[in-house]
């Protein structure tokens, strides 16, 4: 059934104003964008926190393994100082390898990890 209007002003009042609808759309889109930004920020913070805790655990583990390997090599060689020296030399070789290959291996890995976390 069709609605009958007694005047033109009643017809205008009953129809939604396109400007009001546009403003509502923009406000809703703005709020949605803020929520999406907050979600991405929370996701990135969670990944960064987990990575820092994981790195700390790996560091402590590496320290204890290094001490253990040093003592073991010291027992084999007969001198604990030589064991620590050999373990330090091995750590230096690993560091130098990582340092010289950082642009080919490390940087792309970190960049891809960050991009993945942003688009998940």
**Percentage of the chain modeled with pLDDT above 90:** 47
CA atoms within 13 A on the CB side of 45: 6
Separation CA 114–CA 119 (nearest Å): 9
Output the pLDDT for position 15: 67
- The number of folded domains in the chain is 1
Domain assignment of residue 93, yes or no:
yes
In this structure, are residues 74 and 84 in contact, taking their beta carbons and an 8 Å threshold? yes
Separation CA 13–CA 8 (nearest Å): 9
The predicted-structure confidence for 74-101, as pLDDT tens digits, reads as follows 999 999 999 999 999 999 999 999 889 8
This prediction's pTM: 0.58
Tell me if residue 41 falls in helix, strand or coil.
helix
Instruction: Print the domain residue range for 29.
Output: 9-119
């Amino acid at each position: 059934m069709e609605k009958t209007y007694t005047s033109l002003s009643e017809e205008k009042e009953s129809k939604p104003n396109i400007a009001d609808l546009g403003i509502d759309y923009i406000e809703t889109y703005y709020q949605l964008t803020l929520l999406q930004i907050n979600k991405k920020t929370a996701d990135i913070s969670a990944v960064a926190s987990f990575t820092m805790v994981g790195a700390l655990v790996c560091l402590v583990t590496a320290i204890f393994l290094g001490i253990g390997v040093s003592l073991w090599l010291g027992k084999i060689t007969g001198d604990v100082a030589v064991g620590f020296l050999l373990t330090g030399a091995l750590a230096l070789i690993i560091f130098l390898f990582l340092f010289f290959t950082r642009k080919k291996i490390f940087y792309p890995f970190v960049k891809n990890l960050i991009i993945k976390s942003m688009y998940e």
